[in-house]
Amino acid sequence: MADNMRYVETFYGYYTSDWVEDYGSGAFSNNHYVLEKNYISTGCITVETSTATTAHKFLYPHNIEKVYFIEGVIGGHITVAASTATSTVTNYRVSLCKVDNAGNETELFTTGTITVGRNLSWDSTYSIGEEVVLPFWIDAWEKATLTENEKIYLLVEVSGSNTLVLWHSNDSTWEDLKIDIPFRM
């Protein structure tokens, strides 16, 4: 492959209790939110949801041993749902960021704040909440350079009712949190 050719990698976000990452001199301490290219075994213990109105950082736990670039169109989606009561999604923001081993965090690209204003119903008879898949696309034409001492992470921020949950289950049949990133070596 030529050095200026892009390739797109797909990553999925999930939370696992049995793995923890400490990286970046405290930037990620006791972190269980993972950004990975594949789902792990369904036998692993994972947590399906988190409170959506808290900012979540999904860290890709690997270093790449050379300088690389992110350039192109980043796309993906997140999934939120009502939990315990009818909920409202006000807006959301997704950012691709990097952190180095010293803990310096940099936002590389962002969607900006996307207004939604959508109500999600809650069925108390069956204890099930309505879900919505929120897509995003980010123009990343001002290439971002990453070095061998930096890792990428996805920052997900959702505003709305405190009864909203962000889905991040370890289930390849329903991709709760997905991002496609265009790389160039």
Domains and CATH numbers, the chain: 7-184 (2.60.120.260)
pLDDT digits (tens, 9 = 90+) for 16-70: 888 888 898 888 988 899 999 998 887 787 889 999 889 999 999 888 778 999 9
Number of H helices, E strands in the chain: 0, 17
pLDDT for res 3: 53
First to last CA, the chain: 10
The predicted pLDDT at position 171 comes to 83
Burial of residue 21, with CB atoms counted within 10 A of its CB: 0-12 exposed, 13-18 middle, 19 or more buried: middle
Residue pLDDT, tens place only, 92-130: 999 999 999 999 999 999 999 999 999 999 999 999 999
Strands 21-23 and 105-110, sheet pairing: unpaired
For the CA atoms of 53, 137, 107, 3, the dihedral, rounded to the nearest 10 degrees, stands at 150
